[in-house]
Structure 1
């Protein structure tokens, strides 16, 4: 009977902590930034990195599949109706104003993992900022909604986007870099194969403190050896 009760207790314990695996080795499964606070040891940066890498890989894989399909359409003289519809959907998604497939491909960027990790860590304080904890917002993305329920309010008048998950935050960040005209030079750098440290110089006005921002990102990339994840 004691063994039976012990077994039940053990199962309940494991279920209640199913989002945290092998804490001693700093390997945890997290979908919400608020759960990063559960990591109290010195490995919190590593946990942040290990949490985001599979998220980034998943989104990159999806973009790669889209790119491959779009590239395959370049080789066709006549497109089927469903292929034309797919292209129209992609033109809209990536905010492409022309009907040129090359213009679409130029916007379907896949930033280096180290670049994404560096910005996420700097903008969110390794997942511990207010906008991260309350909104899963890892990149300081502003919100046009002036609603403290649907956005995170900081100070008297600043509002930041809220996301359902960390994955949503990363996906919106990549799409912002892909769509917005401010990042045309960054997209050019990514498409030409520049590494993350070179790309930092092409971020333009992502931050109001441009030079300081570039220095901090470069330091984060180097100090944490993030390029090994590219």
Structure 2
């Protein structure tokens, strides 16, 4: 069991910086064997497989802080992985633009990223890599935290406690997850079970970055990037209109939660 992840922000940030440095080293191919970006980066995570009993924290403010402090370093690490992948895709695009040929290892790495982010490309060129970059991008930490709080009942839901599922993700094969007690007649979906909290966060980020249902989310983010603006949670939340059947009401709820919890979303090291 992995414990002790609710530590100081300084330690968490140092771990993220170290992770980024280590991941960049892993991206350097060797002559002996190709480096698998997807496998190496995903295996770099030390999985968290124990969720604190948030329901036992009676003070609402302390519960919110504990919840955010628990998830924050996990989100930072997963975003660091995506940032490393993004830098690699951008570097490969610059090589192609300068007229250089990519090695077999580099092409293999790119194919792995195309597969991971569910983008079908006929050719690997600057156009296809530009399209891939719209998917290989980080998600604002505060948005991830707020949606996790909403979907998991501040970490107290059965799905978060038993299945490490903090984002309400479904699966559709018998036995793939936990059957919701409120599942209607004729429905076959289950709430997906993950091997760790990290896997849940990674799956959520990949879902937003790859699923066609969130094309609007990616379009808003890419448009802001094209203006050299850093995408923020309050801007990107509008791209989650298809995340819930409640649609606009769901967006309003997330925005309201974002406003009411703004002071807890940034952990200050004092």
TM-score range, shorter chain: 0.7 to 0.9
SS of equivalent residue, structure 1 residue 107: coil
Taking the TM superposition and a 5 Å limit, the aligned residue runs for 1:73-152 are: 73-76=92-95, 77-98=100-121, 99=123, 100-147=128-175, 150-152=176-178
SS of equivalent residue, structure 2 residue 241: coil
Task: Name 2:51's counterpart in structure 1.
Answer: 33
Summarize the Cα distance change of 1:48–1:228 in structure 2 as closer, same or farther, 3 Å threshold: closer
Unaligned runs of 5+ in 2: 8-47, 225-229
Give TM-score scaled by structure 1 length: 0.81
Separation (CA, whole Å) in 2 of partners of 1:71 and 1:89: 15
Separation (CA, whole Å) in 2 of partners of 1:20 and 1:53: 10
SS of equivalent residue, structure 2 residue 190: strand
Q: CA deviation at 1:18?
A: 5.8
Q: Conserved in 1, the CA contact under 8 Å of 2:178 and 2:190?
A: yes
Separation (CA, whole Å) in 2 of partners of 1:107 and 1:75: 18
SS of equivalent residue, structure 1 residue 163: coil
Summarize the Cα distance change of 1:49–1:82 in structure 2 as closer, same or farther, 3 Å threshold: same
Give TM-score scaled by structure 2 length: 0.70
SS of equivalent residue, structure 1 residue 201: helix
Separation (CA, whole Å) in 1 of partners of 2:203 and 2:6: 28
Task: Name 1:3's counterpart in structure 2.
Answer: none
User: Match for 2:201 among 170, 185, 203?
Assistant: 170
Task: Name 1:154's counterpart in structure 2.
Answer: 180
Q: Conserved in 1, the CA contact under 8 Å of 2:49 and 2:196?
A: yes
Q: CA deviation at 1:210?
A: 1.2
Q: Conserved in 2, the CA contact under 8 Å of 1:143 and 1:159?
A: yes
Query: Alpha carbon RMSD of aligned pairs, Å?
Result: 2.5
Unaligned runs of 5+ in 1: 1-15, 23-29
Taking the TM superposition and a 5 Å limit, the aligned residue runs for 1:209-228 are: 209-225=246-262
Summarize the Cα distance change of 1:82–1:138 in structure 2 as closer, same or farther, 3 Å threshold: same
SS of equivalent residue, structure 1 residue 33: coil
